[in-house]
Amino acid sequence: KGKYLPLLENGKLLKGSNDVKINDAPVMDGFKGTKEDDMIKALSEMTPEVRRYIAEVTYAPSKNKQSRIELFTT
């Protein structure tokens, strides 16, 4: 909690890395369980050209929209 973990192309988190550099991968916040898995899958299916413009994806459900996300672009 409170630190960034790199996400590999295969959807696995690279744990134990102390020297994390944020590159062309978006930061994900608030996702857990299947919601996290679904977002990782969706991001991995995007072309690198599209994905590079997404800086952050935040899970932001509301009362009427449980699947709501917020995208922050570069």
Burial of 69 (0-12, 13-18, 19+ CB in 10 A): middle
Q: pLDDT at residue 2 above 90? A: no
Please enumerate in sequence order all residues whose Cβ is within 8 A of that of 62, keeping only pairs 6 or more positions apart, or say none. 68
Architecture of domain 1-74: 3-Layer(aba) Sandwich (3.40)
- The pLDDT, as a whole number, for residue 70 is 96
pTM: 0.70
Query: Distance (Å, rounded) from C-alpha 9 to C-alpha 13?
Result: 9
Q: What mean pLDDT do residues 55-63 have?
A: 93
pLDDT tens for 11-57 read 777 766 555 555 667 888 999 999 988 998 898 899 988 988 998 99
Instruction: Please state the domain extents for the chain.
Output: 1-74
